[in-house]
Amino acid sequence: MENYTDDMMPDAAYSDPDLKRNLPGAEDAPLQEPDRQYYFIEKCRQWAERFAVEHGQCPRSCVVNYGCQMNARDSEKLAGILDQMGFEKSAEEEADFVIMNTCTVRENANLKVYGRLGVLKARKQKNPHMLIALCGCMMQEPKVVEKIKKSYRFVDLIFGTHNIYRFAELLYARLSGDGMVVDIWKDTDKIVENLPADRKYFFKSGVNIMFGCNNFCSYCIVPYVRGRERSRRPLEILREIENLAADGVVEVMLLGQNVNSYGKNLDTLVSFAELLRQVEAVPGISRIRFMTSHPKDLSDELIQTMANSEKICRHMHLPLQSGSSRLLKIMNRHYTKEQYLALVDKLRAVMPDISLTTDIIVGFPGETEEDFQETLDVVRKARFDSAFTFIYSRRTGTPAAAMEDQVPEDVVKDRFDRLLAEVQEIAKKTCARLEGQTQPVLVEEINAQDARLVTGRLSNNLLVHFPGDASLIGKIVDVELTQCRGFYYLGNQR
């Protein structure tokens, strides 16, 4: 039986030819997913057992995550599969198997990966049994894969964003052959459900509700590396959340590149607001967050659903990108400065306590001082609780990369510094508005600096540090917010 046919890898841009043959010892692998992957998990587990006998201990693995919440969730899935294979989790320095889940949204994310690979190379020279895998968004760029194939021959396995569910199969392919295994797909319409995940926190979890993006903002590489928008079916999402709740999860973060357009490609149309109402009905879930919203698709129905909800957190991350309507048009964002500000007003009118955060890019091609002043104007008017500010990074293949009037570095740096100062000044004041109030806080961990304190999160996403111990972790407790220290609070449990 031919297990690896062209048919099964319709868009394999870089497939190791070996993957198209039967893998040794896996001739009876099921063709159905996820059964097929569970089969290969078992095969890898047998390998891990042999490793343990040979080395006197289980193989240790470490998933290094770069990038956004979507990537973080993917890393939890990889860790869950490794756990079932019998790998022990370890620090990167001790790992027999290092997997880097990469990001490519800005150039410096890529540079970090190459830097880390240099370190791993030296380590692998000392420990030749070490395995190194690369996956995630950066691997969807043909140029990157070519470079690794040529200059980083010590890498064992490369796969992309669309076939991450096939991790076990690909690892088995590497373990049962020799040489680098490379499998990258250009796109997929497939969503494979019911694979394991190893959550970083027992009480909260990300939940993918959709994959990919159709927006094609002119600066952004994401649609090219994450493919077209695909929504998971509500039933699958709800089943996952019910299982998470049964497993002790009280907070879920619904994840998608543009959650406001959730459901548009489903057989029966379900809006994001409707999905939120269904998630709200799941017993045991106390808090619901979501990420990320595109202003162009933010509906009145969603605002009302949030306002009526006891569980949806009072936080909206609403990327602005630029305050200049002229640039927003070139960025292909489909809203103007005025429409963005009207949305902010609408949200605040219905939910005065809502926290608004945003992303802003400085130095988009052709940005003038006037354009930049428009951005500062929106920052002053919207009064964000926090803003992630980015220096424009030219991403090969995007329309903006080909634009001629790239802004000189020193001008960008100067604007960036001015923007940051403004954002921070405003955020300090905006964040302090809850001082003196008592608010519910979900306790997340022991404070990293002072073990007598715990750190928790408010509904509006701000952090609070207050005296407490490990028994509070995962619980929602009332905390008096005694003092705002810029971007976090100090408090006392009530």
* Contact residues for ligand SF4, defined by CB under 6 A: 67-68, 70-71, 103-105, 137, 222, 225-226
Owner of token pair 């489909």: 334
Q: Please state the closest distance from residue 236 (CB atom) to ligand 5AD, in A.
A: 26
HSE value, Cβ hemisphere, 13 Å, CA-based, for 453: 15
Per CB under 6 A, does 105 bind ligand 5AD?
yes
Q: With respect to ligand SF4, which residue has the nearer C-beta, 147 or 429? A: 147
Look up residue 142 and give its amino acid. P
361 binds, among ligand SF4, ligand 5AD, none (CB under 5 to 8 A by kind): ligand 5AD
E strand intervals along 70-130: 88-89, 97-102
Question: Could you give phi then psi for residue 484, rounded to 5 degrees?
Answer: -95, 130
Query: Cβ 221 to ligand SF4, closest distance in Å?
Result: 6
Q: Which residues lie closer than 8 Å to 351 by C-beta, 6 or more apart? A: 303, 306, 307, 314
Q: How far is the CB of 218 from ligand SF4 (least distance, A)?
A: 15
321 binds, among ligand SF4, ligand 5AD, none (CB under 5 to 8 A by kind): ligand 5AD
For ligand SF4, give the closer residue by CB, 333 or 337. 333
* Nearest to ligand SF4 of 101, 460 (CB atom): 101
DSSP 413: H
Among ligand SF4, ligand 5AD, none, the one that 390 touches (CB under a kind-dependent 5 to 8 A) is ligand 5AD
Q: Does 297 bind ligand 5AD (CB under 6 A)?
A: no
Across the strands, what pairs with 136? 102
- Rounded to 5, what percent of the chain is helix, strand, coil? 40, 20, 40
Binding residues for ligand 5AD, rule CB under 6 A, total 12
* Residue 53, number of CB atoms within 10 A of its CB: 8
Q: Decide which of ligand 5AD, ligand SF4, none touches 41; Cβ closer than 5 to 8 Å per partner kind.
A: none
Instruction: Select from 482, 487, 374 the least CA-distant residue to 426.
Output: 487
Q: Does residue 219 belong to the site contacting ligand 5AD (CB under 6 A)?
A: yes
In sequence order, the 6+-apart residues with CB closer than 8 A to the CB of 139 are: 102, 145, 158, 159, 160, 161, 184
The one among 106, 162, 166, 289 contacting ligand 5AD by CB under 6 A: 106
**Residue among 48, 164, 220, 356 that touches ligand 5AD (CB under 6 A):** 220
Closer CB to ligand 5AD, 318 or 441, in the complex: 318
Are 182 and 229 contacting, i.e. CB atoms less than 8 angstroms apart?
no
Q: In the stretch 146-175, what mask flags binding to ligand 5AD with x, by CB under 6 A? A: ------------------------------
Cβ proximity to ligand 5AD, 40 vs 219, nearer residue:
219
Nearer to ligand 5AD (CB atom), residue 154 or residue 390: 390
CA distances from 330 to 106, 193, 217, 297, 426 (A): 19, 38, 9, 18, 28
Pick one of 160, 319, 456, 491: the residue that binds ligand 5AD (CB under 6 A).
Answer: 319
From the list 121, 116, 122, 128, the residue with the least C-alpha distance to 153 is 121
* Smaller CB separation from ligand SF4, 71 or 205: 71
- Spell out the residues 6+ positions from residue 54 whose beta carbon is closer than 8 angstroms to its own: none
Q: Rounded to the nearest whole angstrom, what is the least distance from the CB of residue 109 to ligand SF4 in the complex?
A: 6
Q: b vs e for 463-486, b when ≥16 Cβ sit within 10 Å of the residue's Cβ?
A: ebbbebeeebbbebeebbbeebee
Residue 66's contacts (CB-CB under 8 Å, 6 or more residues apart) are 100, 101, 102, 103, 109, 112, 113, 136
Note whether 389 and 416 are within 8 A (CB): yes
Query: Which residue's CB is nearer to ligand 5AD, number 51 or number 364?
Result: 364
Least CB distance to ligand 5AD at residue 333 (A)? 10
By beta-carbon proximity to ligand 5AD, the closer residue of 198 and 359 is 359
Q: Which is nearer to ligand 5AD, 286 or 396 (CB)?
A: 396
Site for ligand 5AD in 356-415 (CB under 6 A): 359, 361, 390, 392-393, 395
Which residues would be at the binding site for ligand 5AD (CB under 6 A)? 105-106, 219-220, 319, 321, 359, 361, 390, 392-393, 395
